[in-house]
């Protein structure tokens, strides 16, 4: 067994198998588990997925949302047990792997093209949405 397989083998049971398909640009809801003392509740963080990086257990996602004109970005390990669920709300078309340019955008230009409208029709290929 190679070194990388040994390292990966420690995480087989921790890797999530029920992840929805999430691409950069999609608007997602992250259901984060918040533990306060004994009690536990779910907090939903809704925003645009602007970055996915790393592989396997190391994969991180960055979600950006704007509230009261204040941009907020949060990062999570995608396989963290502290995340109960991911929900994809809206799919969007993105030509880039990282949408850091959204940080400088204000107003309407902050919106991303919807995948349904943006996709060109290709014969035989099913459009998503």
Partner 1 sequence: MALTLVGKKIGMTRVFSEDGKRSIPVTVLDMTPSVVTQVRTVETDGYSAVQLGWGELKPRNSTMPQIGHDAKAGTTPKRTHTESRMAEDEAGGFELGQLVGLDTLDGVAYVDVIGTSKGKGFQGGIKRHGFKGQQATHGVERKHRSPGSIGGHGNNAGKAGRIKKGKKMAGRMGDVRVTARSLDVIRIDAERHLLLVKGPVPGANGGTVMVRPAIRLNRSKGKKVSS
Residues lying near partner 1 in the complex (CB under 8 A) are found at 3-4, 6-8, 10-11, 14, 33, 35, 57-58, 77, 79-82
Tell the smallest beta-carbon distance from residue 72 to partner 1 (Å): 21
Closest to partner 1 by CB, 48 or 83: 83
Query: 């963290």: which residue's tokens?
Result: 80
Complex with partner 1: residue 81 or 107, whichever CB lies closer:
81
Q: How far is the CB of 68 from partner 1 (least distance, A)?
A: 29
Cα dihedral angle (94, 24, 100, 28), rounded to 10 degrees?
120
CA distance 122 to 114: 17
| Sheet order of strands, 83-90 included | 70-77, 60-67, 39-53, 27-36, 83-90
CB of 64 to partner 1, least distance (A): 22
């Amino acid at each position: 067994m190679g070194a990388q397989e040994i390292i990966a083998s420690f995480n087989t049971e921790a890797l999530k198998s029920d992840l929805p398909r999430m691409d950069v640009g999609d608007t997602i809801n992250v259901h984060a588990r918040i533990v306060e003392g004994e009690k536990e509740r779910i907090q939903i963080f809704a925003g645009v997925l602007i970055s996915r990086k790393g592989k396997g257990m190391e994969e991180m996602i960055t979600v950006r949302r704007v509230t009261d004109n204040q941009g907020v970005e949060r990062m999570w390990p995608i396989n963290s047990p502290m995340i109960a669920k991911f929900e994809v709300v809206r799919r969007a078309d993105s030509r880039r792997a990282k949408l850091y340019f959204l940080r400088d955008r204000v107003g309407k230009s902050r919106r991303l093209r919807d995948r349904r409208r943006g996709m060109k029709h290709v014969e035989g290929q099913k459009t998503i949405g």
